[in-house]
Chain A
Amino acid sequence: MINKTLLALGAAICALPAYAENAQITGTVESKCTIITEITGVYGNPTTNKLSTLPADGGVIPIVRYDVVSANHYKAKITTPIAFSSSPPLDDVVDWTGTSAVTEVSVAEMSAYETNKVIYNNVTEYTLTLAGTTWFKAESTALFGYDKSFPSGTYNAIVSAECIAL
């Protein structure tokens, strides 16, 4: 009698439908590399056909700061402008030159970034091998036509600073 009851109970359990639950997992990855514009650049206009960020030309060199928490995990990529983001209509070509350099470091060894930087086109790349803060400057010069005067108006250009995870 008992055996029959147990068998019936077992059969009843087996007959129940199967349940499943999906547990969600979320996570946030905070960037270990932050970029802050410390000084906004200004173009000076020393001659009618020239716009320059050099202080000697009456300009202000933009400075960006990279704060890196983890060493050897990021690359700084700084792109100097090759076109105005906004300007009066221009009827001639603009000859662009731009350079980027390490201006200040929080660790002396970061000075080697300048030696080891990679330049291509208007881009400069630095491998951030040390944790700490590095300041980069980006100089930019624009010459209009062949000794041609820039039309009056406001000129804007953008220096792109990126932190690329390796």
Chain B
Amino acid sequence: MRRKLCLAPLVLLAYCSFSYSDLTFEQSANAAANGYNWVMTNILPDYTGLIVSGLVYQYTTVKDTADDMVVTVQNENLAGDGYIFRSVDDWSGLPGNSINKVIPIPAVLGSAFGNGSISWSGRGNVIDANVVYSYQYDLCFDPQADPTCPDYVKPIPELPVIVVSDPLQDEFIRAEMEKKAALEDEEEEAERLKKKKERKGKKRLEILLGSINSTLLSAQAQAQADLLLAMNAGIEVYYTSIPGGRYDETVSYADTQLPPNVNARRVSFAQQLLHEKMIKSQYSNLISQP
């Protein structure tokens, strides 16, 4: 029970923050300052969810009492047909005077307000017109408009779209590659044809040589065969079979001590002596020269 009571203020606090709203109330400048027809986008600020709650208009009629005159103040309705408000003042048979009129508007979105105007019919004139709109807006109507707004959600940055260009898809590269491939094909075909031609030539040459050799060989072989046949020993060789089996090593050398070769040592020593003598002889020639 105590825990529930402790949670109550928190729930209340959460409810209060949910109902948070910061309305700003303002009034426009004189819409009729630059003429009796005005564009509302130039009069009302561009806030999302702006609501017009009323307007006050003033003007003075200059006329003779007996004259008829009807003045109309109005705003077109962009959200539908007709007018959002239309106030008609009939001054017929009345002396001219200033009018100061408050028009309550039951919370209409500013975006629904079309062009405004003051127009009149009859004899007379309207001077010193003043039309002021009262409006309200909430800067946090769109919570994303300001990071300080409640319910603001930090936006996820949009990932940049990287355009990957495949060089193989490039028109010029593809054309070049196709051209190269065609050239390679042509070269390959030419190579193939060349090899084929060479092979054909070689084959023809082989056939030619083969035919000549075979003719020559066959003539020699025929003569040899005839000779062998005459000796009666040739043809049987072809039918003699070679006996197989294992041929073991039959020759072997026994290990013995080689005696020192004294003669060889002597020759070697003699050669060394001769060599040294030759070397020294070069120097002796140098010393002997003046």
| Interface of A toward B, CB cutoff 8 Å | 102-112, 114-115, 133, 135
- How many B residues touch A, CB cutoff 8 Å? 15
Interface presence of B94 (CB below 8 A) = yes
B99 / chain A contacts, CB cutoff of 8 Å:
104-108
A108 / chain B contacts, CB cutoff of 8 Å:
71, 89-91, 94, 97, 99
Give 10 closest A-B pairs by Cβ, nearest first: A108-B89, A111-B97, A111-B94, A104-B98, A104-B100, A108-B91, A106-B101, A105-B99, A111-B95, A112-B94
A112 / chain B contacts, CB cutoff of 8 Å:
94-95
B95 / chain A contacts, CB cutoff of 8 Å:
111-112, 114-115
Residue with the greatest number of chain B CB neighbours at <10 A, chosen from A103, A106, A111, A115? A111
Q: In the complex the two chains form, what is the Cα distance from A116 to B219 in whole Å?
A: 162
Task: Find the A residue at minimum CB distance from B60.
Answer: A104
What are 6 A-B contacts with C-beta separation under 8 Å? A104-B97, A104-B98, A108-B71, A108-B97, A111-B94, A135-B100
| Interface of B toward A, CB cutoff 8 Å | 58, 65, 71, 89-91, 94-102
Q: In the complex the two chains form, what is the Cα distance from A115 to B58 in whole Å?
A: 21
Shortest distance between the CB of B55 and any CB in chain A (Å)? 13
Additional A-B contacts beyond A105-B97, A111-B94, A115-B65 (5; CB < 8 A)? A104-B98, A105-B98, A105-B100, A112-B95, A133-B100
Shortest distance between the CB of B250 and any CB in chain A (Å)? 152
Q: Known contacts being A108-B89, A115-B65, is A102 close to B97, with CB within 8 Å?
A: yes
Q: In the complex the two chains form, what is the Cα distance from A110 to B65 in whole Å?
A: 13
Q: In the complex the two chains form, what is the Cα distance from A115 to B66 in whole Å?
A: 12
B100 / chain A contacts, CB cutoff of 8 Å:
104-106, 133, 135
Q: In the complex the two chains form, what is the Cα distance from A112 to B101 in whole Å?
A: 16
Shortest distance between the CB of A54 and any CB in chain B (Å)? 18
A114 / chain B contacts, CB cutoff of 8 Å:
95, 97
Task: Find the B residue at minimum CB distance from A114.
Answer: B95
Are A109 and B58 in contact (CB-based, < 8 A)? no
Q: In the complex the two chains form, what is the Cα distance from A28 to B58 in whole Å?
A: 35
Q: In the complex the two chains form, what is the Cα distance from A103 to B102 in whole Å?
A: 16
A133 / chain B contacts, CB cutoff of 8 Å:
100
Q: In the complex the two chains form, what is the Cα distance from A107 to B91 in whole Å?
A: 10
Shortest distance between the CB of B41 and any CB in chain A (Å)? 29
Q: In the complex the two chains form, what is the Cα distance from A103 to B96 in whole Å?
A: 10
